[in-house]
Chain A
Amino acid sequence: MESLQVYLDGLFKDVPPSSAVRQAKADLLAAMEDHYHDALARGLSASEALGEVIGSVGSIDEVLAALDVHPKTSEATQAPEALTTEDVQTYWQATLHYAAGLGLGVALCIASVALAVLFDGNPDSDALSAISFLLAVAGGVASIIFATTHRRRIARGLRQYAVTSSINRFAARRLEAYQRPRMIGLVAGITCCICSIIPAIIIADNLGAVLLLFMVAIGVFYMIYVQAINNGYKRLAEARPGQLFH
């Protein structure tokens, strides 16, 4: 009965193999199979019989205690290693690249429309309009994907380490120090977005719309960039000491 074997293998997955453990698994499997066939003989369906057997298995902890076997989780219960300042610097460096990549990606997607508008209207440059639009969108999406996967890879490598109170304080200081650049970046970004309306008003033709979109793209880039970096510091500054980095 493969389902029971798979279920039992799952229960014993953290248990170091030994002859006693193999015998225990064989005996439990035999008892579970006997139970399963007994349930079928009582008129239960295959899925009901399987449910009844699995429901009656109990905890393997008592079996391991009887066998005097200790699961590998004893390693996992040891205190995890702490994050070092080098680890968090690596993470923040990756966050910096992520912020730039994400900001650039979104900005390129917005700018792609501007490029399409810029080359639009001229019969000779229709193809150029389409190509520049597609290239900008593709570049933007690639930049977002690359930025996200790179930072995720770095963050995953640090998940086994615990946040310490000194890392907490270190991150809190960096977060505090970053508030001024963040505010400047946000103000610059918002100003860019608001001022983008000016060329659209002054220049009536397509060029006005193109400048509007470029300015919005630049404004959005600034806002995303500073906010993503800020979140990188905040993530560690607000993590509880002792918990694993996530």
Chain B
Amino acid sequence: MISSDSMRGYNDAIILAVLARGDSYGFEISKAITAGTNDAYTLRETTLYSTLTRLVKSGALNAYAGELSYGRPRTYYHLTGIGRTILAAKKQEWHQVQGVVTHFLEE
């Protein structure tokens, strides 16, 4: 299990990457992350929600009321143009970070 400290800074990018595949809602995003990392990384519900809230505020995502879930409307999230730009920048940054860390840790 990867600690949340190690992943801090990349939660935004991971969520944006999940939403780049299509609109989704809170628990589905969380499940996609857990499944995509073979259970190595799980986002806590409050971390996921606070990250989604920040991304909506920054314009990277749009939130809208979707289908009913157990009697309540689910909030769905849609990746915006700004979100795609941020995701692209994050990908580029990740390649640089990966190169630097690999250089020192895999010598």
Binding site for B on A (CB under 8 A): 1, 23-24, 26-35, 37-38, 56-60, 62-63, 65-67
Q: Determine the distance from Cα of A86 to Cα of B82 in the docked complex, in whole angstroms.
A: 63
Whether the Cβ atoms of A56 and B27 lie closer than 8 Å is no
- B33 nearest CB across to chain A (Å): 12
On whether A34 and B69 interact (CB within 8 A), knowing A24-B53, A27-B26, A66-B54, the answer reads yes
Whether the Cβ atoms of A34 and B26 lie closer than 8 Å is yes
Q: List 10 tightest A-B contacts by C-beta distance, closest first.
A: A58-B44, A34-B27, A58-B46, A66-B50, A31-B26, A66-B53, A62-B50, A31-B27, A63-B50, A63-B46
- A39 nearest CB across to chain B (Å): 11
On whether A27 and B46 interact (CB within 8 A), knowing A34-B26, A66-B53, the answer reads no
Binding site for A on B (CB under 8 A): 25-28, 30-31, 42, 44-51, 53-54, 57, 69-70, 72, 74-75
Whether the Cβ atoms of A57 and B53 lie closer than 8 Å is no
Contact of A38 among B31, B48, B50, B74 (CB under 8 A): B31
Whether the Cβ atoms of A63 and B49 lie closer than 8 Å is yes
Looking at chain B's contact residues, the main secondary structure is helix
Contact of A28 among B28, B46, B51, B69 (CB under 8 A): B46
Q: Which residue of A lies closest to B57 (CB)?
A: A66
- Residues of A near B45 (CB, < 8 A) are 28, 31-32, 35, 56-58
- Residues of A near B49 (CB, < 8 A) are 24, 27-28, 31, 63, 66
Contact of B70 among A37, A57, A63 (CB under 8 A): A37
On whether A33 and B70 interact (CB within 8 A), knowing A28-B45, A28-B46, A56-B45, the answer reads yes
Q: Which residue of B lies closest to A31 (CB)?
A: B26
- Pull 26 A–B residue pairs with CB atoms less than 8 Å apart, ordered by A: A24-B49, A30-B26, A30-B69, A30-B72, A31-B25, A31-B26, A31-B48, A31-B49, A33-B72, A34-B27, A34-B28, A34-B70, A35-B45, A37-B70, A56-B42, A58-B46, A58-B47, A60-B46, A62-B46, A62-B47, A62-B50, A63-B46, A63-B49, A66-B53, A66-B57, A67-B50
